[in-house]
Each structure stands twice: as C-alpha cells, then as structure tokens.
Amino acid sequence: MTDKTFQKYKLVIDQWFVNGFNGTMAYKEFYPKAKRADDSFSKIQRIPEVQEYIKQKEDEAKKALRTTHEVLLEELENWAYSDITETLLLTPDQVKELPPEVRRLITKYETTTRRIGSGEQAISETTVKLSFVSKEKAMEMIHKHTGFYEKDNEQKGNIVTETREERDRRIEELIQKRNAAD
C-alpha cells in the first residue's frame, strides 16, 4: 500500500469516528462511486496499518475522556450506591447547587408551580420532580465489567458436539430406558 493510499484510508477512518461509526458512509465520503462501500470499508479495516491507526485513535479518545476501568467503575459505583434522599424537597436553585456527582445521576428534571388561594393571601408552591439513572442497570454494568457473569457465560459456551451415530445411539438408549420404565 502506498503512503498516499494509506493517508486516504486514514481520512476514511477519521470520518468513521466523526459520523457515529457508519463505515459505508465514511467510505462513500472519499470514494463516492464505490458500488460496495460496506465491503470496501470492511476490507480496509482488516489492513494491519489501518487497524493500528484505529487503535491509536481509540487510545487518544480514551485519554481525552479519561475512560479507564477505574473511572468507569467509580462512576457506576456512584450510580449504584447513590442516595436520592439528598434531593428530597429541594428547590430548583438547590438542585443546581448539588455536587456534580449527584447531578450526573439526574436523567429528567421537571418543575411545576401552582398557586394556592387567591388575592394577596395566595401562595405559590413549586414542586421539583427528578428522575434518576437506574440502579439495577448500574449493578448489571458493574457485574459485566468485573466478570461477575463469566462463570455463567462459560457454562453456556460448553457446547457438546457429537457425530450423527453417537446422537442416534444416545436417542436409542433413551427410548429403551423409557420403554423399560413403561
């Protein structure tokens, strides 16, 4: 592969990162006449130099976003063990003053204001409704990330392969056992 070709492939990969990982669209951006852009993109992804470039881009993104196992597990732990009682009866201004690690748990925020009474004696009451990230989802993600389900996955992966003759013999034995029990 020439350096010129590699530079063009790098542009395709850059576009792939920018467009949300749509390989076909990334390839067509630089090769608009391509008939099988999906196959062509798949082929360039398998080139060792391109794979190395993709890995480099992923590492740069991880570094920029501080995406490490430790940081991810810290955030998931924050989700899983958060205490929503810290947010009960808060005003909108008090919600804004919450620490960032608590605010990140909020997925939906609504305020409702209603007037009680009339005239000069009327009072306004503002209710804040908050929705939070799922604790169950956080626990599931922690378990997946730490390999908690690994044993179950290994058990599911143990597929027994047998020849047709072995299967027929096993079926015959089961039929004989059933008939003997009758």
* Structure token pair of residue 112: 């409702």
Contact status, residue 102 vs residue 87, Cβ threshold 8 Å: yes
In a domain, 113, yes or no: yes
Q: What is the pLDDT of residue 130?
A: 92
Residues 52 and 93 in one domain: no
pLDDT digits over 137-152, tens only? 888 888 887 777 776 6
In a domain, 35, yes or no: yes
In a domain, 172, yes or no: no
Number of domains in the chain: 2
pLDDT digits over 35-66, tens only? 999 999 999 999 999 999 999 998 888 788 77
Residues 42 and 92 in one domain: no
Residues 89 and 60 in one domain: no
Residues 8 and 59 in one domain: yes
Residues 88 and 44 in one domain: no
Q: What is the pLDDT of residue 153?
A: 60
Is it the case that residue 127 has pLDDT exceeding 70? Answer: yes
109-134: average pLDDT: 89
Residues 20 and 56 in one domain: yes
Largest CA distance in the chain: 92
Q: Where are the beta strands (DSSP E) in 31-158?
A: 106-116, 123-132
Residues 92 and 125 in one domain: yes
Residues 42 and 14 in one domain: yes
In a domain, 49, yes or no: yes
Last residue of a domain, one of 98, 117, 134: 134
Residues 109 and 60 in one domain: no
In a domain, 31, yes or no: yes
In a domain, 158, yes or no: no
In a domain, 34, yes or no: yes
Residues 56 and 104 in one domain: no
Residues 35 and 7 in one domain: yes
Q: What is the pLDDT of residue 16?
A: 93
Distance from C-alpha of 82 to C-alpha of 160, rounded to nearest angstrom: 44
Contact status, residue 34 vs residue 40, Cβ threshold 8 Å: yes
In a domain, 110, yes or no: yes
Distance from C-alpha of 182 to C-alpha of 180, rounded to nearest angstrom: 5
Question: What domain range includes position 54?
Answer: 3-65
Q: Please, what is the angle between helix 37-45 and helix 23-30, to 10°?
A: 100
Contact status, residue 38 vs residue 44, Cβ threshold 8 Å: no
Last residue of a domain, one of 108, 134, 160: 134
Position 160 confidence tier, pLDDT thresholds 50, 70, 90: low
Q: Please, what is the angle between helix 69-80 and helix 135-145, to 10°?
A: 150
94-106: average pLDDT: 91
Q: What is the pLDDT of residue 10?
A: 95
Q: What is the pLDDT of residue 158?
A: 59
Q: What is the pLDDT of residue 151?
A: 65
